[in-house]
Structure 1
Amino acid sequence: MKKVFLVLIASILFLSLTPTANDTAQAKAMWGKIELKEGMIGKVKIVKDTYQYSISKRKLKKGSKLKKGKEYGVYSYSKNYGGVYKIGSNKYVKKSSSIKYYKVPQSASLNFKKYNGNWFTSAKSQPGVGVNLEFTSNTKAKIDLYGIWWSMPDGSNARESDASGYNITFDKNGVGKVTFIESRAGNKGVATVKLSDNKVTLTVKYPSSYVENEFLDSYIYEGTHKLVPRKF
């Protein structure tokens, strides 16, 4: 009976931490008709039907037709071949009156809303550390930190630490920092979050200058944690 009760408690804990579909869905950062992706320097809009090219043996090879009105992200520009914009892996469009180039505006490049959601050290159900990001603007978000621990295979002795209700602002490099107090031990720490290449890296430190609870440890473990979108 005691074991069943513990399993029930653990199940309630997991459900309380499990995000809804809306929480885990990462919002796309749109720029006109296209998704703004990291590495883009701009975009081209097709104003008159033209062609896509590839490069083979140092020569341009004509490919499929690009229709008027379409937009494509640009990742680099080369003056070779009369000027070409790279729009994908070995995919180029020639500089001409058939296209119009737009540089990524600063306001668009600093849009981190695609990182909105719940991130954890593992996509699967297991002990670890995570953050939940809820963006309120392109660079500002509400952040909750949490850590989950258990030693029993069925997770019946699960425990957690939380640090909820904080705000974080990300700089142009996608780095933000927040000072927090976690719920289990009352320890005060500093969390640094880095957003890059569709990944979230969380670094947690408990500075020696802060008083720590000598009897309890936090499950928001100190160290650097590489996080992935949480799926459980």
Structure 2
Amino acid sequence: MKKIMLTIIAFTLMAMFTFGITSEASSTKVMWGKTELKKGQIGKVIILKNTPLLHIGKDPMLDGGAVRELKKGEEYRVYSTKTPEGYFPMYNVGGEYYVVQNSTLNGVNVKFETPSKTKLALLEDSSPKVMWGKTELKVGQIGKVTLSADVATFNADGTSRKEVLPAGGEYRVYTFVSDNHGGAYGLGGGLFVDMHGALKYETPSKSKLALLK
């Protein structure tokens, strides 16, 4: 009886220890300077001089302007960049909020950096996989296609490619284009399939997307 109880206690402790390791590993943060590196982040800005944080809505003439001042030495994640014609580069730090790289009066206001391959590899290793059917859901993915027959592929300009995707396969979709031929889904790497081919297109649920963040 004592031997059985000792075995149960030992098993329980082992399970608790294993769970603790798993929980800790799954919540590991990848720090990059002063901020945590996140999926979907393409870089960060380091504030060199006090500079305004801009809110730029759908109509900048009506919905825009400075909301507060960012202080020298602060760091912010960047999710996209754009350079409107005639303007300096702008960095999106989340939502509709931007900082401008340069100022004609003050010179360079911010420094933009991209994460190293090592940091990106650590982020990939620290993030639990979110499976969606046969494939892993990835940041930037807008949907997937499931093929009901073999499907030919082509380039963005409509020229044919050698790859023929087999029936039953599932493929991530990152973009779609509309044209006079009815449109196509972009599977990444410049590979496209006919939008109206032998396939089924689906978008990820809100619950799946929440797990990905």
TM range (shorter): 0.3 to 0.5
Q: Return the structure number with greater helix share.
A: 2
TM-score by length of 1: 0.43
Q: Which has the higher strand share?
A: 1
